[in-house]
Chain A
Amino acid sequence: MPETDEKPPLFKTWKGWYALVIGLLLLQIILFAQLTKLFS
């Protein structure tokens, strides 16, 4: 895959941002599943 030498903010590499985006999605899905149970 093509890479660029531009550094991302906060993390050392872009992989940190990718993990954050997917991690937050998974957290939201877990939270939504709990809310579905809680309010049904």
Chain B
Amino acid sequence: MSTIDWAVLILTLGGIIIYGVYKSRSSRNLEGYFLSNREMPWWIVLLSIMGTQASAVTFLSAPGQAYTDGMRFVQYYFGLPFAMVVLCITFVPIFHKLKLYTAYEFLEKRFDVKTRTYTSFLFLLSRALSTGISVYAPAIILSSLLGWNIYLTNIVMGGMLIIYTVTGGARAVAYTQQLQLIIVFIGLIIAGYMVVHFLPANVGFTDALLIGGKMGKFNVITTGISEKGFDWTDRFNIFSGVIGGFFLSLAYFGTDQSQVGRYLTAKSVRESRMGLLMNGIVKVPMQFLILLIGVLVFTFYQFNSAPVFFNDIPLSQLRESDKADSLKLLEDSYSSLSKEKQKLVADFVQQPNGSAESDRVTDQMLDIQEKQNSLREEVKQLVEKNVSKSESNDTNYIFIRFVLDHLPAGLVGLLIAIIFLAAWGSIAAALNSLASATVVDFHKKFINKNLTDEQDFRVSRWYTLLWGVFCVAVAIFVTGLGSLIEAVNVLGSWFYGVMLGIFLVAFYMKKIGGNAVFVAAIVGEIIVIGTYAFTDIGWLWLNVIGAVAVVFLAWILQVTIFASSKQGVKQI
């Protein structure tokens, strides 16, 4: 990175920390620290919700996803607007009416202490581990590409934000997320503009989309249905997106304290609802535009030489091994195919769309693309067999590699800063929510119930700091663990469905009590993990399975084993 990039990076990150500390004034009590005195307007709630959901990997991974697999990933968000509506109808009014600090308090009011504690524990377990990974995942990418020390990068990625998160609580988190998102969007718009700007003079924006589309990257809507019927292992299609995405979004926004804590900061039910509904309106187009950058980057590489593999570190290792000749052969073949394709793409742009000549050139382009995909696959196999399995997927490296190789000085620093800011936004909210669940659901419940406001405030700060240190420690610990990280990435889906099932029973099945739902939740968890371990079913479906299993089992248990027992049945 150049001096100007370093200056932009340091100024942006330093500015956010100073702004966060400046915005740290809050009442020295639980409501002030965790819920910003419940005084936020809807647009701050909206930006806070978006900043919490969009992690660094969102911005690193989505364009790479579009580059390799096309736009169909956007379907993953189709269930989200439906979930926002259900939350506004059911969850939000009850959470506000009961003046909750955490979502899990509601479960004690509705069921019993054990159900509340179990669900809060599931949240702490999954959120703490996934936050550790969300520190590590962008840190390993940046450290690989820029040659930074991974441990130091982990500390900057997960540690610097602790300063304002500990001092300012939810208020500092919300205000910094607002500024972070504005910078992120400005950076992405500039990046998108630059990709189009770098295309040949005779290639416009729609030409770029057409080239990407002809090469199979504009597959926004897919059904997952083939001659063999519906493919349950297909990760992203309109059905898994609407149904699986609905359950995932409902679980994430309705039962994960990192999100519930954001809209509980709103000054009224109206402001919470508006924040969530606006999220339902802007989320899909926002993801569409981020993916579109990936398609544009793909088109850019149709006119320029693309690396056969975007993470250079494992390639360097292969070059120093006895596989160097094999790699050289693959790289040379890929490069000559690229040159051949560049001529065809230049020819394609000259042809009227839909003409016989255009179709002929498209077929040739696709043929070369297929050969290149095979070569990329062979390189991945080489990496997997001779370096490590976890480094054989370069999707997350594609966009940042484009930034580093092609964007001018200053913009590189800004885009790197965006990765940090996106990470900080989601990690800060996670730390705030981990601390609130620990203080409210465990410390004040089981350790010390009679704390003064000032003691509450101090304990909350300490827990925020402890969770921050824990998450950085997880990030440092997983460095080098490889395949374990992939498992942790789907960890949320192991728990979200079950947690959602518990809340659905609480809201909609008034005659089911705490004992039935508690046993159903434990059995449901075993079913989900068993399904994950013994089938290839797409992970989005795990959320559906978990929720349906808990609802169904709780009902069966209530009408059989717990039929005579009214214990645990409470009405709100």
Contacts and interface: CB of A to CB of B under 8 A. Distances in A.
Interface of A: 1-4, 6-9, 14, 17-18, 20-22, 24-25, 28-29, 32-33, 35-36, 38-40
B285 interface: yes
B78 interface: yes
Contact of B81 (A3, A22, A38): A22
A24 B282 CA distance: 10
A39 B93 contact: no
Nearest to A17: B277
A4 B94 CA distance: 10
B253 interface: no
Given A3-B93, A36-B219, A21 B238 contact: no
B404 interface: no
Contact of B216 (A4, A35, A40): A40
Contact of B78 (A29, A36, A39): A29
Contact of A40 (B82, B97, B214, B273): B214
Interface in B268-298: 268-270, 273-274, 277, 280-281, 284-285, 288
B277 A28 contact: no
Given A21-B81, A21-B281, A39-B212, A32 B220 contact: yes
Contact of B280 (A21, A33, A39): A21
Interface string B210-242: 101110101111000000000000000010000
Given A21-B85, A25-B81, A8 B270 contact: yes
24 contacts: A2-B90, A4-B93, A4-B270, A6-B269, A7-B270, A8-B270, A14-B89, A14-B273, A18-B277, A20-B277, A21-B84, A21-B281, A25-B82, A25-B280, A28-B285, A29-B78, A29-B238, A32-B221, A32-B288, A33-B221, A36-B220, A38-B213, A39-B214, A40-B216
Contacts of B212: 39
A4 B220 contact: no
A24 B90 contact: no
B219 A40 contact: yes
B88 interface: yes
A6 B219 CA distance: 42
Given A14-B273, A40-B214, A1 B85 contact: no
Interface of B: 74, 78, 81-82, 84-85, 88-90, 93-94, 96-97, 209-210, 212-214, 216, 218-221, 238, 268-270, 273-274, 277, 280-281, 284-285, 288
Nearest to A8: B270
A8 B216 contact: no
Given A1-B89, A8-B270, A39 B210 contact: yes
Given A1-B90, A21-B280, A40-B218, A6 B209 contact: no
B173 to A, nearest CB: 25
B216 A22 contact: no
Closest 3 CB pairs of A and B: A39-B213, A32-B220, A39-B218
A36 B219 CA distance: 5
Contacts of A4: 93, 96, 269-270
Contact of B209 (A24, A29, A33, A39): A39
A40 to B, nearest CB: 5
B220 A25 contact: no
Contacts of B270: 4, 6-8
Interface centre among A6, A9, A21, A33 (most CB of B within 10 A): A21
Contacts of B221: 29, 32-33, 36
Given A2-B90, A39-B213, A40-B219, 7 more contacts: A1-B93, A2-B97, A8-B270, A17-B277, A18-B88, A28-B284, A39-B214
B210 A6 contact: no
Contacts of A6: 268-270
A1 B89 CA distance: 7
Contacts of B288: 28, 32
B85 A40 contact: no
A22 B97 contact: no
Given A1-B89, A29-B238, A22 B82 contact: yes
A20 B74 CA distance: 20
A29 B77 CA distance: 11
B353 to A, nearest CB: 10
A32 B238 CA distance: 11
A18 B82 CA distance: 9
A38 B93 CA distance: 43
A20 B270 CA distance: 16
Interface centre among B82, B84, B216, B220 (most CB of A within 10 A): B220
A17 to B, nearest CB: 5
Contacts of A35: 218, 220
A8 B93 contact: no
Contacts of B213: 36, 38-40
A35 B295 CA distance: 13
